[in-house]
Structure 1
Amino acid sequence: MGNRSRPAQSKVDSAPENDREPVLAQLLAGLDVLPMQRIVLAHDARLRLSKAALAFIETAKAWFASHDVFTA
């Protein structure tokens, strides 16, 4: 079988400006992130999550809604 080579084109370069999913996919594939970070990134990219991961997201949303953590 022959080696078929195509010009290298980054998925990030070819993505629309407001589309972050390719960037997140690269982060998820290339970095050794903590499981909680992986859940947050997957949720932000609107990827399919397990029920446990969705429960983590909902718990975090509820906690941040009840705590004023971003005030100076």
Structure 2
Amino acid sequence: MSTVKKSARILETKNGEDANAFWRSTAKRILVQLFESGIAPGLAEQEVGTLLHAVLGDIAARSAATRATNDC
């Protein structure tokens, strides 16, 4: 399972501060991995931002699909 899908599924089970804490921990872990790989800090932060948008997009798409299925 991809990082996007895995993170999205975990975030869907959390609310409020639990969701925030999960995302901060995930972002920090990924940033550290990117820094250790030699990625420049600014680029690493952009990558984590891109990941967040992908995760939120995945959640939104799954939510829309669920609503569409339930409306039938």
TM-score, normalized by length of structure 1?
0.29
TM-score of the superposed pair, with normalisation by structure 2 = 0.29
Which of the two has higher C-alpha Rg? Answer: 1
Taking CA–CA contacts closer than 8 Å with sequence separation of 6 or more, which of the two structures ends up with the larger relative contact order?
Answer: 2
